[in-house]
Chains A and B, each alone.
Chain A
Amino acid sequence: MTAPPDAAPSDIAPPDLLPTLEHRLLAIPDDKFLEVVQLLERVRDHPDVQQTFASIRPRLVQMRPERRPTLKRVLCMPFEDVLESFGGADVPLGRIERRAIDPMWGIIEDCADRHALDQLDRQVQGVAPGDHNGMLNIGRRLWPLAAQTLRSVMESDGSRHVLWRRLHGDEDLRRQVIDAAVFLDIGLSIEALKSDLSPKPLPELEDRHVAVIEQAAQAVARQNVAAVYSLLLVAAARLAAPADLLRVLNDLDLGKARRDQPVIFAQLSGLVVSNLEERTARLEPKAGTPSTAVASPEAAMALAERLVASVATTNAVMDLLNEPIYRERLEAVKTAVGAMVTGAVLDTASDGILSAIPVPKPGAAPVVDEAAQAAAEDHARALRRCEGLADTLGLRQAVSDTLKRMGQGVSVRAQALLKDYPQMAGDADAAESAELNLFYALRLLELVAGPAKADPLRLAILSAIGESPDEG
């Protein structure tokens, strides 16, 4: 589907064809994909197009193309850090679900000053994709208008029909709309903070970051003490380890919100723990699927390391403040992470690592599969990374057994390749492939067992191929 860039919306594939094209949109090259996204943007209000956007969202999230600014997009800026991501295993703190956006926007369209909204809509159409300042200028006027509208609708008896029509009595959605209004109240402060706490996720909370959080909190407290919590949620959500904020929270001077500090701490720490629980709950395999929710052993280890680090920080903060109630819950989180590591890295090691080493077939030329080798190496590295978490997750024995088993398995397969090697004499191409397979097996042994244990295999290979090192 490659419509020319200047095609009119009607020239694009009819919307009823879109559902069948969705899977193709995930497969086409990046540049074509961006072209199609640009075209679809122009008819994005059509239900089928919205459905298409929902199904291609994982790729949109991955590629992050500059999207055409709309009022709805500007509306979401202050709370985008707490918006629930699509399909990912990570869950933001104190989240607002994406399903809340449309009802929220509907309420604003129904009840806000029509003239002011139309004016802002005309302005936003003149803002170029990626023009952050242009969007901020719209937000400066839209956010207070939206916050006031949402709040007055929520509080007024006369608006019950609007609420019913948009929220269908969903109390959870109602809570999220009220929360969103607070983020909108302090939209400008949040935007300033986001720029200081960049990039997201912030790998380390440094002193300068703590200073800007403190200043922002004081400024927000002067405006609305209750909104400080929302500001801190955004700050925590931008950190690689949100629990890091807990570590410094009690040393912050929150200005006018000083008296609320213990409550804020309790809320935030409860939220951090619940968030960890929720993130680990998502790691469990869904009914009917055999594997875990993570994409690869490497991704599993990266996630496990993040979660364990968060648990450790949270544990330390809770211990310091004598909050034993959370310890059990944090232990449960660690158990879930351990189960995920076992399922995604340890149990799958034989398939992931050993199967990359080809088994010689009599009379057949050796085949080198470098994609399989790369995947096996990633798996072996993930397995070695498990060692770092083994004690914390109670997996010391399991990790050690798996590493030993893999070392033995690789050695056995490598010996089979060595034994088969002389059959390749006389065929240069076959010999080269066989040698490459031998060296790739050596590399896997090095990764799972270390260079000292791999060295005898290296010497055996060099001897077999006539490249023994010089003596002395």
Chain B
Amino acid sequence: MLKGAIEYAPSTFEERGAAVAFTTPLLSQTRVRRGERSKLEVLIPSLSEGMGTYVVAWKSVPEMVSMTMHDRYLHDLIVKEEACSPQEIRRATLKAARRGLAGPQAAQAARRALEEDEEQGTLTHYLLLLAILKAVGLESPEMLKAGIGTEEGQRLTRQLMARAADSLKLEANLLYARLAEIAAAVAPVGLTQSPKPGRLLRGMQELKAFRQSMTSWSNEVPSDAAPVAAFCADVAQHTIGIGEKLLTDFQRRVDAIGPLMRAWETEFVVIRSHAQRMAWLLDGWSHVTAAWDVAQTEDRHQQAATINDLFRVIPLLPKKESREDMLGAAKRIKSVHRRSVRMLEDWRTGEMDMDSIRRIELVKARAP
């Protein structure tokens, strides 16, 4: 059941696992991955003050830890759906939150997030359609004027898309299918020409603001947590660096929609893989940035406690993604961190820490 503490230095994102937004304090942001014989397993960092990470069979978690109702529901859902990528985990998380089990605010936030996903998908689809028409020289003011929602607009669109398919030497149905595939892959990031950034692009912006805020805090506040804040800023900076390079290449490829359609087999694989990599790269950060947002209204004492909590779950980059020895740096910081960490006693006593759960639920209401 419990494989014992290991030194956690994953090589790849998949090995690092996807963060799960549990509300039980001990399990908050623990990572799920596919282990031996494809069985799901969970990685729980430092159950007490120890340095290691525990690897636990996913199905055994409820026997080990007293979980909230929300977490039991989410746990079952992840077992049922065999979810372990950030996208799949997010879907399950939103479904659990929508049930109201993390409170009404989190339920409302989950409903909003699902609506936004749908709107973003439709918008991306529409913008890609316009981009294809433009790429083959078929821009139509009449179509725009009629609007895609009207019968006339749809007739014009079908006509133009048939001509676009001819021009690209594709069946019209295949063009539509490819369009849907790109939209699905690209929507979470969003298009350069989109009036609203996708959630992953927003995540990058929030990460930059977090990095800036952590740097200022570490410089301005005389606290044991200052080196921890500086470390968090450093991890954020490395993540932003990789993310920006990835994003530039991703946007360049998506913008060149004509060549993408022509070299579909090779190009689309790269685009989809870039989008998935963005999701892995930012996985776990939305909780970190939202928790820091929540702490902005609190005094510095509370902020220091939040920074120490975040250190426990900060998404360190896997070895293959960064040349920096993040685990080594984390170990050096840990000696400072141990002094002021909030102990997570509930796993031993079975008692729920209501305040900690409430804090996590407030974060969930910000970043569902």
Q: Is there a chain B Cβ closer than 8 Å to A158's Cβ?
A: no
Instruction: Name the distance in Å between B96's Cβ and chain A's nearest Cβ.
Output: 10
B104 touches A440 (CB 8 A): yes
Q: Is there a chain B Cβ closer than 8 Å to A47's Cβ?
A: no
B79 touches A470 (CB 8 A): yes
Instruction: Name the distance in Å between B242's Cβ and chain A's nearest Cβ.
Output: 37
B103 touches A374 (CB 8 A): yes
Q: Is there a chain B Cβ closer than 8 Å to A185's Cβ?
A: no
- A451–B103 CA distance with the chains assembled, in angstroms: 15
- Known A-B contacts: A203-B299, A439-B101, A446-B69. Give 14 more (CB < 8 A): A199-B299, A199-B300, A208-B222, A373-B104, A374-B105, A377-B103, A385-B354, A436-B99, A442-B101, A443-B69, A446-B68, A462-B76, A469-B76, A470-B76
Given A436-B99, A454-B69, CB of A204 within 8 Å of CB of B301: yes
A435 touches B99 (CB 8 A): yes
Q: Is there a chain A Cβ closer than 8 Å to B37's Cβ?
A: no
Task: Give which listed residue, B73, B79, B300, contacts A458 with CB less than 8 A.
Answer: B73
By beta carbon, the residue of chain A nearest B222 is A208
B82-100 interface code vs A (CB 8 A; 1 in, 0 out): 0000000000000000011
Q: Is there a chain A Cβ closer than 8 Å to B107's Cβ?
A: yes
Task: Give which listed residue, B66, B76, B104, B358, contacts A451 with CB less than 8 A.
Answer: B66
By beta carbon, the residue of chain A nearest B358 is A381
Q: Is there a chain B Cβ closer than 8 Å to A17's Cβ?
A: no
Instruction: Write the residues of chain A forming the contact surface with B, with a CB cutoff of 8 angstroms.
Output: 199, 203-204, 208, 370-371, 373-374, 377, 381, 384-385, 435-436, 439-440, 442-443, 446-447, 450-452, 454-455, 458, 462, 469-470
Contacts of A374 in B (CB 8 A): 103-105
Q: Is there a chain A Cβ closer than 8 Å to B72's Cβ?
A: yes
Q: Which 9 A-B pairs have the closest CB atoms?
A: A370-B104, A469-B76, A439-B100, A203-B301, A439-B99, A446-B69, A374-B104, A373-B104, A440-B100
Instruction: Write the residues of chain B forming the contact surface with A, with a CB cutoff of 8 angstroms.
Output: 66-69, 72-73, 76, 79-80, 99-101, 103-105, 107-108, 222, 299-302, 350, 352, 354, 358
B72 touches A436 (CB 8 A): no
Contacts of B300 in A (CB 8 A): 199
Contacts of A371 in B (CB 8 A): 104
- A436–B110 CA distance with the chains assembled, in angstroms: 13
- A457–B358 CA distance with the chains assembled, in angstroms: 22
A370 touches B107 (CB 8 A): yes
Instruction: Name the distance in Å between A366's Cβ and chain B's nearest Cβ.
Output: 13
By beta carbon, the residue of chain A nearest B68 is A451
B101 touches A443 (CB 8 A): yes
- A90–B108 CA distance with the chains assembled, in angstroms: 35
Given A203-B299, A451-B67, A455-B72, CB of A469 within 8 Å of CB of B354: no
Task: Give which listed residue, A199, A452, A470, contacts B66 with CB less than 8 A.
Answer: A452
- A469–B222 CA distance with the chains assembled, in angstroms: 49
Instruction: Name the distance in Å between B101's Cβ and chain A's nearest Cβ.
Output: 6
Contacts of B103 in A (CB 8 A): 373-374, 377, 443
A-B contact pairs, 29 of them (CB 8 A): A199-B299, A199-B300, A203-B302, A370-B107, A373-B100, A373-B103, A373-B104, A374-B103, A374-B104, A381-B354, A385-B354, A435-B99, A436-B99, A436-B100, A439-B101, A440-B100, A440-B104, A442-B69, A443-B100, A443-B103, A451-B66, A451-B72, A455-B72, A458-B73, A462-B73, A462-B76, A469-B79, A469-B80, A470-B79
Instruction: Name the distance in Å between A220's Cβ and chain B's nearest Cβ.
Output: 25
Contacts of B358 in A (CB 8 A): 381
- A377–B107 CA distance with the chains assembled, in angstroms: 14
Contacts of B354 in A (CB 8 A): 381, 384-385, 447
Instruction: Name the distance in Å between A184's Cβ and chain B's nearest Cβ.
Output: 29
By beta carbon, the residue of chain A nearest B99 is A439
- A436–B79 CA distance with the chains assembled, in angstroms: 22
Contacts of B69 in A (CB 8 A): 442-443, 446, 451, 454-455, 458
Task: Give which listed residue, A203, A451, A458, A470, contacts B352 with CB less than 8 A.
Answer: A451
- A436–B76 CA distance with the chains assembled, in angstroms: 18
- A469–B67 CA distance with the chains assembled, in angstroms: 15
Contacts of B68 in A (CB 8 A): 446, 451
Contacts of A435 in B (CB 8 A): 99
Contacts of B302 in A (CB 8 A): 203
By beta carbon, the residue of chain A nearest B71 is A451
Given A370-B108, A374-B105, A439-B100, CB of A470 within 8 Å of CB of B80: yes
